[in-house]
């Protein structure tokens, strides 16, 4: 009996040893499993970080390319701005009826007649007030020309009416961004329209197939865009030649007039052609300027005398 009990004790001890080893093995397996889980999470996190880093670098690269392209295009628009501005300023001032020419002594009678005409318009309202401002500007130009000696060298006077470079740069940048936003919205609207049309066509084809129609019977109802490439290629060529960001002469004149009217309190822009003969209700000066001029559907900017020769 004693030997039997010792045998049972040894068996119990061996079973406890095996159980202890099993517990240690299970604990080690749990540690390994937890470590592998953490490694998997870290691997996914690392992959996500790498993907985010690639996207950030792509955004930085695209932003640099955009700023570079914007700078190049704005420089081209500024050159065209300067050409249009110089042309119209010379066209306005260097004519026999310009304020500088009329300010000389041999044109005193025409000046008096014009002053009388201005008083005549004054009874009408805004036309008279703008004409009086125009006469004050002419007298100032006459004083400058006389101080220069006789007719004076008037070749420098019109350059003083150029929009400052800083204001010109800001105006060109704002105009470019407004045109770019309009172009992006137009493209998005066009793509949405095309997708809607394609979806409607597919729904119609599916509906007709439900009634037993086949491709042969539906070929007449499908658009034949591929069969008329001669109507698509000229349109694409015209759109390529006339880039959306190019500013027309009319648009540049409006931008110049807008900036000149904003500088009405700065000498000598009070007598800038764009600030003369403005219609009633035109807001001038920094407080009256509205950012709606850069958006869609904005009313045209009054050009005053800037769009024509001096009367």
d(CA 32, CA 216): 65
d(CA 293, CA 253): 13
d(CA 205, CA 213): 9
d(CA 262, CA 56): 40
Task: Classify each residue of 157-177 as buried b or exposed e, where b means 16 or more C-beta atoms within 10 Å of its C-beta.
Answer: bbeebbbeeeebbebbeebbe
Query: Each residue's pLDDT tens digit in the chain (311 positions)?
Result: 788 888 888 888 999 999 999 999 888 888 888 887 877 777 787 888 889 999 999 999 999 999 999 999 999 999 999 999 988 888 887 765 555 555 444 443 333 333 333 333 333 443 444 444 444 444 554 444 444 444 444 444 788 888 999 999 999 999 999 999 988 998 899 888 998 888 888 888 888 777 777 766 666 555 544 444 444 455 444 454 568 888 888 889 888 888 888 888 888 888 888 888 777 666 655 544 544 455 555 666 777 777 754 44
d(CA 36, CA 65): 43
Whole-model pTM over 0.85: no
pLDDT for the residue 99? 55
Could you tell me if residue 223 is left (phi over 0), alpha (psi between -120 and 50 degrees) or otherwise beta? beta
pLDDT tens column, 152-178: 444 447 888 889 999 999 999 999 999
Cβ(175)–Cβ(255) below 8 Å: yes
d(CA 301, CA 253): 9
Look-up of token digits 């900036």: 259
């Amino acid at each position: 009996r004693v030997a039997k009990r010792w045998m049972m004790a040894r068996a119990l001890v061996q079973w406890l040893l095996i159980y202890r080893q099993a517990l240690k093995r299970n604990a080690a397996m749990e540690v390994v499993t937890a470590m592998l889980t953490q490694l998997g999470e870290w691997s996914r996190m690392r992959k996500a970080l790498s993907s985010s880093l690639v996207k950030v670098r792509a955004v930085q690269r695209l932003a640099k390319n955009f700023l570079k392209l914007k700078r190049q295009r704005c420089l081209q628009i500024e050159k065209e701005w300067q050409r249009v501005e110089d042309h119209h300023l010379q066209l306005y001032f260097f004519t026999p009826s310009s304020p500088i020419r009329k300010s000389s002594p041999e044109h005193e009678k025409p000046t008096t007649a014009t002053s009388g005409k201005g008083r005549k318009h004054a009874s009408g309202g805004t036309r008279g007030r703008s004409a009086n401002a125009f006469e004050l500007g002419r007298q100032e130009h006459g004083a400058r020309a006389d101080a220069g000696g006789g007719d004076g060298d008037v070749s420098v006077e019109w350059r003083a009416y150029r929009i400052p470079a800083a204001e010109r740069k800001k105006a060109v940048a704002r105009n470019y961004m407004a045109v770019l936003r309009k172009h992006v919205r137009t493209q998005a609207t066009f793509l949405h329209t095309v997708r809607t049309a394609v979806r409607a066509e597919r729904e119609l084809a599916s509906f007709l197939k439900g009634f037993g129609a086949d491709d042969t019977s539906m070929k007449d109802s499908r658009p034949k865009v591929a069969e008329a490439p001669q109507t698509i290629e000229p349109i694409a060529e015209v759109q390529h030649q006339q880039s959306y960001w190019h500013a027309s002469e009319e648009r540049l004149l409006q931008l110049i007039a807008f900036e000149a009217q904003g500088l009405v309190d700065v000498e000598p822009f009070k007598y800038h052609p764009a600030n003369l003969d403005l219609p009633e209700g035109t807001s001038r000066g920094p407080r009256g300027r509205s950012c709606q001029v850069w958006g869609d559907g904005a009313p045209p900017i009054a050009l005053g005398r800037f769009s024509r020769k001096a009367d």
